[in-house]
Amino acid sequence: MIMAMNDQAENLRRKIEVRRNFRQAKTIAIVSGKGGVGKSNFALNFSLGLTLKDKKVLIFDLDIGMGNIDILLGKSSRLSIVNMFEDKLSIHDIIETAADSLSYISAGSGLSDIFTMDKANFDYFTTQFEELASGYDFIIFDMGAGITEGTAHFLMATDECIVVTTPEPTSLTDAYAMIKHISMKDSTIPLRLLVNRAQNRKSGIQTGNRLQQVVNRFLDRELLQLGVLPDDKAVVQAVTGQSPFMLYNQKSNVARAMVEIVDRFLGEKDRMESTTTDSRSFINKLKQFIKER
Ligand SMILES: Nc1ncnc2c1ncn2[C@@H]1O[C@H](COP(=O)(O)OP(=O)(O)OP(=O)(O)O)[C@@H](O)[C@H]1O
Ligand SMILES: [Mg+2]
């Protein structure tokens, strides 16, 4: 009898332990209307900023054929998401590590479109992905510019999107078009705006506010401000040196601004902790979209 009670207590203790260790990865897609606005650099350095705050982060390069996260890291990856499908590898086999604790998956090439994969591949992807969700705090998707029917489904399944724009009018109009497209499909997915390459903080904030107002007024939805990154030659130097600017030059304006952005982002996240979605929502939503196709 006493033995049984001890066993029960032991079981309960184990369950509590498991729950305590159970992470719920938040999935975040980094998107833009126009290309070349700084998505990949933002995705990589934001992810690094999160790891510096002891978060477990996986950056997933989904710009198939054009991906360059590994180049920005100065790595030549052996395996990519394409190998996972073609060689039926486990997702854990294709995860690489950089800068001590950042995990990443390379985009690879040869697969024209993983977003329109057949059922067998899709099922394989979802089972593999489900395994990941409990191992990370954040899974960050670096997407290609613009939106296709296939990427739209994928985007809608993520917990939130970060839209990157520069202050240039062409970039802003394309960002607006992107936000409109996403909003027409799903008006509830949280959208945050990152203004990159601002001439100064004040003008960057003004740019963000203007786009926010237009989105509020014409699309009747909220656009949260993630922050502003300055135009900084340290970015070009870091890219040339194949090292993320957060490591290459920690004292640069852009690296300091990123630290602020990460701090604010995590502060907000903590406040919103009680309203987080369940860990499987990404896969569940993705399944739903595939069914409706
Ligand atoms: N804050 C910045 N300050 C100065 N230059 C920048 C900044 N951000 C990006 N750049 C420049 O823009 C280039 C493109 O950046 P990046 O590759 O991150 O853009 P992207 O949006 O991912 O492009 P693509 O749409 O092709 O994927 C960088 O190589 C760098 O030269
Ligand atoms: Mg890119």
Report in angstroms the alpha-carbon separations of 226 from 95, 99, 195, 212, 234: 28, 24, 8, 11, 21
Vertex 226 angle, CA 222 and 227, to 5°:
130
Relative to beta strand 138-142, strand 26-31 is: parallel
What is the pLDDT at residue 157?
Answer: 83
Sorted by sequence, the CB contacts under 8 Å of residue 190 that are 6+ apart come out as: 159, 160, 161, 222, 224
- What is residue 180's predicted lDDT score, i.e. its pLDDT? 94
Using one digit for the tens of pLDDT, what is the confidence trace for 8-64? 666 655 555 544 455 679 999 999 999 999 999 999 999 999 999 999 999 999 887
**Residue 246 and residue 289: Cα distance in Å, rounded?**
37
Q: Which sequence spans correspond to the domains of the chain?
A: 25-292
The binding-site residues of ligand 1, defined as CB within 6 angstroms of any ligand atom, are 32, 35-41, 63, 144-145, 196-197, 229, 231-232, 235-236, 239, 254
Q: State phi, psi for 125 to the nearest 5 degrees.
A: -60, -45
- Is 146 within 8 Å of 117 (Cβ atoms)? no
From ligand 2's centre to the CA of 29, what distance in Å?
A: 12
CA distances from 62 to 44, 59, 65, 81, 255 (A): 13, 9, 9, 8, 24
Could you identify the atom of ligand 1 that is nearest to the CA of residue 230?
1
Instruction: Name the residue with tokens 């203004």.
Output: 195
**In 10 A of CB 75, how many CB atoms?**
16
- How many helices (H) and strands (E) the chain has is answered by 12, 8
- Note the CATH number of domain 25-292: 3.40.50.300
Tens digits of residue pLDDT in 97-135: 998 899 999 987 766 566 667 778 778 888 888 888 889
Ligand 1 atom showing the smallest separation from residue 41 Cα: 18
- Residue 197 Cα to ligand 1 middle (Å): 9
Output the residue whose Cα is nearest ligand 1's atom 9: 38
For 100, left (φ over 0), alpha (ψ -120 to 50), or beta? left
- Of ligand 1's listed atoms, the one at least distance from the Cα of 37 is 21
Question: Which of 67-81, 167-181, 213-227, 275-289 is predicted least confidently?
Answer: 275-289
pLDDT beyond 80 at 240: yes
Burial label for 165, CB within 10 Å (0-12, 13-18, 19+), is buried
Look at residue 92 and tell me whether its pLDDT is greater than 60. yes
| Atom number of ligand 1 nearest to Cα 72 | 17
Query: Rounded to the nearest whole angstrom, what is the distance from the C-alpha of residue 68 to the centroid of ligand 2?
Result: 7
The DSSP bridge pattern shows strands 102-105 and 224-230 to be unpaired
Lowest mean pLDDT of 33-42, 145-154, 205-214, name the range: 145-154
Q: How far is the CA of 67 from the centre of ligand 1 (A)?
A: 13
The stretch 224-247 carries a mean pLDDT of 97
Q: Are 119 and 92 in contact (CB under 8 A)?
A: no
* CB-side neighbour CA atoms (13 Å) of 234: 19
d(CA 239, ligand 1 centre) in Å: 9
